[in-house]
């Protein structure tokens, strides 16, 4: 049996934990995840996805604000792990934890590309042709440790964030158990520092869009699906976007067609189809209803 202390927080990490639980050759003496956080309009505490799953299997759980909190180091040592597996945990591991056992991180990019907090979104924003998951032996730097293995694939042109995360989660699950069972025979590959790129944490304001370029707007829609979403200067949110043309010059924001529920809108370069719009403090509605309610017709500016 391989003893694994697991550290992770969101749905992506939950799926990997489930795979470890299902593996009959792996035992999980301890799960570490982020504290419950306020969520929703009422501000009630919501547990991380990893905690919810760990509770279902009666696994021991710790939720420190910081890994340097009193008792965390001792708890991990007492768990006697062969490995510490980390997936989207949300904190860097201090050196004293890295020294307890080999620490394996499942990072959702093809390292050294997109080290940092938002690799999946960044891949969509840049319209990358390929992405994947990297298993990495952790060190003190940010996503800079030696590479243990990859899974990669071609990104479909219409794939949005949730779909990409599902594919990455599936590949990360398979890669995790493969690395654990073959760890002793793997020769880690040092990352080439000169090829490294970094990505920042996503902020709400990143979702603001203009109609200058249809392809860039569409890539933002793909990358920011769910949160923060995309919206224009006046706060109106845009949903269900389809890229119609990525070239050609048009008048930015002009309504080109109004269909049964959707509308087609020109950009400075290219054009898009919009399925739904949501004005500030109001419910989302189909794009045609939005236009009808405001007296907007073909040839008018949408905003």
**Domain that residue 174 falls in:** 2-199
Residue 185: partners with Cβ closer than 8 Å, 6 or more residues away: none
Domains contained in the chain, number: 2
Name the 3-class secondary structure at 268.
Answer: coil
pLDDT at 248: 86
Q: At which of 147, 167, 199 does a domain end?
A: 199
**pTM for this one?**
0.94
CA geometry: angle 72, 116, 210, nearest 5 deg: 135
Q: Order across the sheet with 2-8: list the strands.
A: 61-62, 26-32, 2-8, 83-87, 103-107, 130-137, 147-154
pLDDT at 301: 97
pLDDT at 272: 98
Identify any residues that bridge with 199 across adjacent strands, giving them in sequence order: 116
pLDDT at 128: 98
If asked whether residues 138 and 242 sit together in one domain, one would say no
If asked whether residues 186 and 108 sit together in one domain, one would say yes
Evaluate whether 239 touches 262 at the Cβ level (below 8 Å): no
pLDDT at 40: 79
If asked whether residues 34 and 124 sit together in one domain, one would say yes
Q: At which of 199, 221, 236 does a domain end?
A: 199
pLDDT at 43: 83
Residue 301: inside a domain, yes or no?
Answer: no
**Gap between the Cα atoms of 9 and 29, Å rounded:** 17
For the chain, residues with pLDDT lower than 70 are none
CATH number for position 267 = 3.10.25.10
**Gap between the Cα atoms of 279 and 146, Å rounded:** 48
pLDDT at 41: 77
């Amino acid at each position: 049996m391989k003893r694994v202390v697991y550290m992770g927080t969101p749905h992506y990490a939950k799926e990997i934990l489930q795979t470890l639980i299902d593996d009959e050759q792996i035992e999980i003496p301890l799960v570490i995840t982020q504290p419950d956080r306020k969520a929703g309009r009422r501000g009630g505490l919501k547990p991380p996805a990893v905690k919810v799953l760990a509770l279902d299997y009666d696994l021991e759980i710790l939720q420190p604000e910081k890994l340097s909190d009193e008792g965390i180091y001792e708890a991990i040592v007492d768990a006697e792990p062969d490995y510490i597996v980390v997936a989207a945990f949300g904190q860097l591991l201090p050196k004293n934890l890295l020294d307890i056992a080999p620490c394996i991180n499942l990072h959702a990019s093809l390292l050294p590309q997109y080290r940092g907090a938002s690799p999946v979104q960044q891949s969509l924003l840049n319209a990358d042709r390929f992405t994947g998951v990297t298993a990495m032996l952790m060190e003190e730097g940010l996503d800079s440790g030696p590479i243990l293995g990859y899974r990669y694939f071609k990104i479909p042109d219409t794939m949005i964030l949730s779909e990409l995360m599902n594919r990455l989660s599936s590949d990360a699950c398979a890669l995790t158990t493969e690395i654990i069972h073959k760890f002793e025979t793997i020769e880690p590959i040092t990352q080439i520092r000169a090829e490294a790129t970094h990505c920042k944490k996503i902020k709400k304001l990143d979702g603001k869009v203009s109609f200058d370029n249809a392809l860039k707007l569409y890539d933002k829609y793909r990358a920011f699906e769910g949160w923060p979403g995309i919206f224009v200067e006046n706060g109106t949110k845009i949903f269900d976007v389809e890229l119609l043309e990525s070239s050609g010059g048009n008048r930015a924001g002009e309504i080109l067609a109004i269909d049964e529920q959707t509308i087609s809108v020109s950009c400075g370069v290219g054009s898009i189809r919009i399925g739904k719009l949501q004005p500030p403090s109001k419910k989302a509605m189909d794009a045609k209803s939005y236009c009808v309610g405001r007296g907007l017709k073909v040839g008018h500016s949408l905003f």
